[in-house]
Amino acid sequence: MKTNLHPNVQLALGVMLGVLVTATLVTHLIGRLRPAMDLGEIRSRLRSWWVIAGLFGLALVLERGWALFFFAWVSYLALKEYLSLIPTRRADRRVLLWAYGAIPFQYLWIYLGWYGAFLVFVPVFLFLAIPMRMVLIGETAGFLRAAGTIHWGAMVTVFAIGHVAYLLVLPSSVNPNGAGSGLVLFLVALTQLNDVAQFLWGKAVGRARVMPTVSPNKTWGGLIGGIVTTVALALVCFRALTPFTLREAVLAGIVISVFGFVGDVVISAVKRDLQVKDSGALIPGHGGILDRLDSLTYTAPLFFHFTVYLYR
């Protein structure tokens, strides 16, 4: 197996492995010391993290095509989960197939590094194609709701998530310190750790709620603690993984942290609207795949354009 993985990225993947091993050992130790404590939830969460990190790491280690296939598959699962969650019309079954069909095309543009097509395909062409296919079917009751919700799902699960994948194919001149996979690792690790940090800070010092009607568990304490933690982590690893200066690294940390929060509460609002607690049951201990990707749907496009604006 040949790997073109930058040594810095290999190191970062090693650190990720170390964190998981430590977390697993600590959980095991707590289980030994306090047998009465219920660790079932934490154990299944941790096991899922192993699977996610394993697949993600594997995708980065293998050739670019495999990594893109991995992200395309993530988009597919997320879109399938979304379309299973929302009310759909029986008449629209073929329209849904068009939305699914956008995934291979979008990832083909990414594979080819065709930036223009990547940017316009879902927001313009799919946006126009969905209502067109719907008119051909001819069912008008609930037309606007269906056209709007189907396209929104494709924007979130295919277009937004696709930005993670496009980081991989950016020219290597963009990021001499770790190439595309360095940027992907920086974005994904910071987004996921920001989620965990906001949760833990919220438990520890959270009082005043940020958005009581949308997500009652989100507190100012959690948000600010999360921002500080994420910026600190950005400062630890930006030299190894990104082309950023110190100031840009701080800004990237703030963007990922603040908009990770926004992505989280946006998906929370959608779930609240649909009156479900989790978006699905695909990932034991976490819920659905959208529950895991919620922050990334905001951080991926924003971090992507932050980087491209500065360095492309």
Give the per-residue contact string, 135-174, with another protein (x = CB under 8 A; - = no).
Answer: -------x--------------------------------
- Which segment (78-86, 115-123, 200-208, 255-263) binds another protein by CB under 8 A? 78-86
Rounded CA-CA distance 209/85 in Å is 27
Q: What is the DSSP letter of 126?
A: I
Q: Is 100 an interacting residue with respect to another protein (CB under 8 A)?
A: yes
Q: Pick from 4, 84, 172, 173: which binds another protein (CB under 8 A)?
A: 84
Stretch of 30-38, 57-65, 96-104, 178-186 contacting another protein, by CB under 8 A: 96-104
The distance of closest approach from Cβ of residue 142 to another protein in the complex, given in angstroms and rounded to an integer, is 8
Q: Nearer to another protein by C-beta: 24 or 44?
A: 44
Give the one residue of 47, 64, 80, 239 binding another protein; rule: CB under 8 A: 80
Least distance from another protein to the Cβ atom of residue 202, Å: 27
Query: In Å, how far are 99, 102, 128, 144, 155 from 151, measured between CA atoms?
Result: 8, 11, 10, 11, 6
Binding positions for another protein, 173-232, rule CB under 8 A: none
Of 118-126, 155-163, 256-264, 276-284, the segment contacting another protein by CB under 8 A is 276-284
Three-state DSSP class for 115? Answer: helix
Q: Which of 100, 99, 121 is nearest to 110 (CA)?
A: 121
Only segment of 24-32, 117-125, 179-187, 274-282 that touches another protein (CB under 8 A): 274-282
Helix (H, G, I), strand (E, B) or coil at 80: helix
Contact 234, 253 (CB under 8 A): yes
3-state secondary structure of 95: helix
CA dist 260 and 254 (Å) reads: 9
CB half-sphere exposure, 230, CA atoms < 13 A: 34
**Token pair for 151:** 């396209």
Query: Are 232 and 268 spatial neighbours (Cβ–Cβ below 8 Å)?
Result: no
Query: Binding another protein by CB under 8 A: which of 17, 86, 254, 258?
Result: 86
Q: Which of 21, 55, 135, 281 binds another protein (CB under 8 A)?
A: 281
- Measured from the CB atom, the residue of 142 and 285 that comes closer to another protein is 142
Whole-angstrom CA distances from 40 to 18, 27, 35, 196, 198 are: 22, 10, 12, 18, 22
Q: Which of 12, 59, 72, 77 binds another protein (CB under 8 A)?
A: 77
Interaction of residue 87 with another protein, rule CB under 8 A: yes
> What are the φ/ψ torsions at residue 283 (nearest 5 degrees)?
-115, 105
- Least distance (Å) between residue 79 CB and another protein: 8
> Which span (24-32, 80-88, 196-204, 218-226) binds another protein, by CB under 8 A?
80-88
Number of residues that bind another protein (CB under 8 A): 24
- The two most distant CA atoms of the chain are separated, in Å, by 65
Residue 104, Ramachandran bin (φ over 0: left; ψ between -120 and 50: alpha; else beta): alpha
Residues of the shown chain interacting with another protein in the complex, contacts defined by CB under 8 A: 76-77, 80-81, 83-90, 93-94, 96-97, 100, 142, 274-276, 280-282
